[in-house]
Amino acid sequence: MAHAHHLTDSRLHELWEMHAPDPHLASCAACQARLAEIDGVTSAVQTAADVAFSEAFPDRRVEASRHRILQAVERLNRPGQIVTFPGTPFVAARQRTRPRWMVAAAAGLILGLGLGRLTHPGSLAPALQPAAALSPVAPASYSVVADDDLLFALETASTGPVPVLRSIHELTPLSDQPDPLW
Amino acid sequence: MASGDRDNARERFTALVDLQHRRALRIAYHYLRDADDAAEAVQDAFLRVFVHIATYSESRPFEVWFTRILVNACLDRRKARGRRLKWTIPMADASPNRPLDPASTAPTPEQRMMTRARAGEISAALAKLPARQRDVFVLRYLSDQTPGDVSAMLGLSEATVRVHLFRAIRRLRTLLER
């Protein structure tokens, strides 16, 4: 029979899975051989997999694994509680922070405009007044100071051990130095 | 949560573990080919299920949802192992034909050894399959999922699953004849 008329891989596989009869298959030795190939290899792999699995996981090991899972669940100690794990704290924090800044900036602007109106009732352009008059609009400067503090703290921490730790370090004998007690 | 509800949830989860555990170990073991890694991947998967159980939609079978989580846990572990191995000195006997587990090197009767050797060869052949073919084959024939379930688990069409299965079988035969 011409190759073009052979069953496709997908069709052949489907027939094999369903144990379904097929007129072409009944008369084509090549397709029957392909079907037998599926059967033989699959059975061999399944048998080998059974052997390998039972070697690797005897009953006591399966039981130990099951026990560890249940213990781990017990440690979580929050059955039924929904937690976004593994969470994305940075994204979440940013999403929360950004609107807060916007609200603070808007509040500062409104307050500044109000103060401008009070201190200069005739003026229509409080924004042109000296910056000191609009000081409530400056929450960003707090952030800058806080960031600077944080960066300073990080820099200090990264430049080396702080004096208190250094003294401990100096008291600790290094492994390559001879111990004076010996 | 009331302690009664908590106990109830724990009992139900224990029943779930009992139902899926062995099958999960089998899948993970054939993905990872290492018993310790497999046990850890299964544990990861169950913990993920426990934490995310409320996101499970009953529109598809629990087994499909769980197996997808398990496969992801196996892939994560495989990646982690890859990173670990990058920084370790390769073992001299790290050939693909090495035994699946150190315990299998213990002296045994001849017949048993031959069976083990054959199982080792077949497992090594399985490991040589392209990743997609191996995934499909393991899920279909070593964990008894239907092609429809495998297609849902891996996000492939059922026809594609069948083609991968057939190609996997053909490739396995070639590998085992060598």
Query: Which residues 4-33 on chain B approach chain A with CB closer than 8 angstroms?
Result: 5-6, 9-10, 13-14, 17-18, 21-22, 25-26, 29-30
DSSP code per residue over chain A? --GGGSPPHHHHHHHHHHT---HHHHH-HHHHHHHHHHHHHHHHHHHHHHHHHHHH--HHHHHHHHHHHHHHHHHH--TT----SS--HHHHHHHHHHHHHHHHHHHHHHHHHHHHHHH-TT-S-GGGS-GGGGGGG-HHHHHHHHHHHHHHHHHHHHTS--HHHHHHHHHSPPTTSPPTT-
pLDDT in tens, B81-134: 777 665 655 444 444 444 445 455 555 667 667 777 777 788 888 888 998 999
Whether B114 has its CB under 8 Å from any CB of chain A: the answer is: no
Q: Could you read off the pLDDT of B58-81 as tens digits, one per residue? A: 888 888 899 999 999 998 888 887
Residue A53: both structure tokens together: 């699995």
Collect all residues from A whose CB is shorter than 8 A from any CB in B: 9-10, 12-14, 17, 37-38, 40-42, 44-49, 51-53, 55-57, 61-62, 65-66, 68-70, 72-74, 76, 78-83, 85
For A83, the closest chain B residue by CA position comes to: B51
- The region of weakest confidence among B6-15, B101-110, B144-153, B157-166 is B101-110
ipTM exceeding the 0.90 mark:
no
**B1 touching A, CB under 8 A?**
yes
Give pLDDT, residue A102: 78
Mean pLDDT of chain B, nearest integer:
81
Quick one: pLDDT at residue B94?
Answer: 43
The distance from CA A130 to its chain's CA centroid, rounded to whole angstroms, is 48
Over residues B163-168, the mean pLDDT reads 88
pLDDT of residue A141: 47
- How would you write the pLDDT of chain A (182 residues) with one tens digit per residue? 445 588 887 788 788 888 888 899 899 999 998 888 888 888 888 888 888 888 899 999 999 999 999 999 888 765 455 555 555 554 444 455 556 777 788 888 888 887 777 777 655 554 455 554 445 554 544 455 566 677 767 666 665 555 555 555 555 555 555 554 44
Query: What local confidence, expressed as pLDDT, does residue B31 receive?
Result: 84
Considering only CB atoms, A51 lies closest to which of B115, B137, B162, namely B115
What's the confidence (pLDDT) of residue B93? 43
More confident of the two residues B153 and B117: B153
CB contact under 8 A, B122 and A66: no
For residue A55, what pLDDT is reported?
Answer: 87
Among the partner-chain residues A10, A45, A80, the one whose CB lies closest to the CB of B122 is: A45
| Confidence (pLDDT) at B50 | 87
Q: Closest CB to A56: pick one of B18, B101, B176.
A: B101
Instruction: Assign B3 a pLDDT band (cuts: 50, 70, 90).
Output: low
- Chain A, nearest residue to B20 by Cα: A66
Residues of A in Cβ contact (< 8 Å) with B173: 37, 40-41
